[in-house]
Amino acid sequence: MAAETIKKKTPGYSAKRRLLKENLTAYLFILPAFLVIGVFGLFPIGYSIYMSLYQWRVRQGDFIGLENYSKIIGDWTGLLTFVAGIGLLIAAYFIWNNAAKSVSKTKMAFKLVAAIVLIASGVIISMGWGKMIASGDKNFLNSLIITLFYALGSVPLQLILALILAYILFQNIKGKEVFRMIFFLPYVTPVVTTAVVFRIIFSPRETSLANILIGKLGIAPLKWLFEPKAITELLFGLKNLNGLLAGPSLALVTIILFGVWTFVGYNTVIFLAGLGGISKDVYEAAEIDGANSFDLFRFVTVPLLSPITFYLFLISFIGTFKAFNHIYVMKVPNAQKTVVTASVQIFQTFYTENNFSAAATEAIILFLIILGLTFAQNKILGERVFYG
């Protein structure tokens, strides 16, 4: 009893007890979220790593270590060369940034060095990738190129169209609520259903809606989803290009159009929310200074929406690397491997080949690529975000 009385009278005892109670309460509040993330996020990643280290076809087999990774990558020297090229690419970016901050006398020298480093990085990346393709898993490695095409073709177009639509719908125009609902409908409509409709619209038949529309422009009917040829060959007749230089196939471009059509409405709604948070006083001040409508959009709206743009770019880029449903529904055998993205290839390895360990390995490699790209985007684009 006396010891308890001494504790209560001891300076700082009640403060420590209160702090302990507050910490315990905080941990109890975050416990449900931690359990959800742990069970449905961290545990599957950890178990995938575990599966990738074993020979696993339906049932667990022998421990094989990094053998699956070696089969996919093919040449570890090629991987190191490729990573070195990426490092030079990052170095070129920072050198170019330093050129912008330097005085006029050294600016040209910095830009020249950056250009040389950029060219060197391209050569080294090409050499490393060539070694990997020559001895690695061509199906999965090529699916990464197709995934990159899909991401670069859809994300910028989504954001540009969404920003323009949001800016228009934010004005005082009649029926803007109806237009907002119409643009958002593709995002909430079942993906499989809309993908099937797109397959009908972009049918290779001459009577398909897409071919009728281009026919009115004097263009011959196209095969669309059934066309494995690259757009560089279709547009310019370049038949000898491969990989990144060849560009996406027409079938993949058609799937990109579907992705843009689906997600533009969602991005538009997010941009509208961001526009609602911009004070009218800022626009009025700019107008007093003589800014016209284009100046308001270029120098006021776009910079103040940069946090929203950064967020949408980040989640959209991650989403394109994980996209599966509509690509799987819209792909046809005639398009060959030109529409098989990384997620579809992982599914085929898992489901068609029943090679669970190889599929887990591919999933881990894709996860590391997404993680690296997200980190790079945070470092490069995050610095350009204007928070007011």
DSSP result, 223-254: -GGG--SBHHHHHH---S--GGGT--BHHHHH
Find tokens 């699916």 and name the residue: 143
How confident is the prediction along the chain (388 residues), in pLDDT tens digits per residue? 445 555 555 556 678 888 888 899 999 999 999 999 999 989 999 999 999 999 998 888 899 999 999 999 998 999 999 999 999 998 888 888 877 666 666 778 778 888 899 999 999 999 999 999 999 999 999 999 999 999 999 999 999 999 999 988 888 888 778 888 888 899 989 999 999 999 999 999 999 999 999 999 988 999 999 999 999 888 888 887 777 788 899 999 999 999 999 999 999 999 998 988 888 888 888 888 888 888 888 888 888 999 999 999 999 999 999 999 999 999 999 998 999 999 999 999 999 888 999 999 999 999 999 999 998 888 888 777 877 6
Q: What's the confidence (pLDDT) of residue 386?
A: 78
Q: What's the confidence (pLDDT) of residue 93?
A: 86
Same domain, 207 and 308: yes
Find tokens 């030079």 and name the residue: 88
Q: Is 3 part of a structural domain of the chain?
A: no
Q: Is 187 part of a structural domain of the chain?
A: yes
Same domain, 91 and 184: no
Q: Write out the DSSP string of 62-111.
A: EE-TTHHHHHHH--HHHHHHHHHHHHHHHHHHHHHHHHHHS-HHHHHHHH
Same domain, 187 and 280: yes
Number of domains in the chain: 3
Q: Is 147 part of a structural domain of the chain?
A: yes
Asked which of 111, 135, 159 is the last residue of a domain, the reply is: 135
Q: What's the confidence (pLDDT) of residue 182?
A: 87
What residues have CB less than 8 Å from 191, skipping those under 6 apart? Answer: 262, 325, 326, 329
Helix axes 138-169, 176-188, angle to 10 degrees: 160
Q: What's the confidence (pLDDT) of residue 11?
A: 55
Residue 60 bridge partners (DSSP): 56
Same domain, 208 and 59: no
CA distances from 188 to 7, 97, 170, 346 (A): 61, 41, 21, 26
Q: How far apart are CA 305 and CA 28, in angstroms?
A: 36
Asked which of 88, 109, 135 is the last residue of a domain, the reply is: 135
Per-residue pLDDT tens for 124-160? 999 999 999 999 999 999 999 999 999 999 999 999 9
Closest among 189, 183, 155 to 377, alpha carbons compared = 155
pTM above 0.95, yes or no: no
Residue 164 gets the label, from left (phi > 0), alpha (psi -120 to 50) or beta, of alpha
Same domain, 35 and 122: no
Same domain, 266 and 313: yes
Q: Is 2 part of a structural domain of the chain?
A: no
Asked which of 38, 63, 88 is the last residue of a domain, the reply is: 63
Same domain, 182 and 264: yes
Q: Is 45 part of a structural domain of the chain?
A: yes
Give the CATH number of the domain where residue 155 resides: 1.10.3720.10
In this structure, are residues 127 and 236 in contact, taking their beta carbons and an 8 Å threshold?
A: no
Written as one letter, the residue type at 220 is A
Q: What's the confidence (pLDDT) of residue 315?
A: 93
Q: Is 4 part of a structural domain of the chain?
A: no
Written as one letter, the residue type at 278 is I
Same domain, 152 and 130: no
Q: What's the confidence (pLDDT) of residue 111?
A: 82
Which residue range forms the structural domain that includes residue 364? Answer: 137-384
Same domain, 260 and 292: yes
Same domain, 209 and 93: no
Extended beta strands in 248-316, E state: none
Q: Is 6 part of a structural domain of the chain?
A: no
Same domain, 106 and 190: no
Same domain, 146 and 243: yes
State the number of CA atoms in the 13 A half-sphere of 254 facing the CB. 32
Q: Is 179 part of a structural domain of the chain?
A: yes
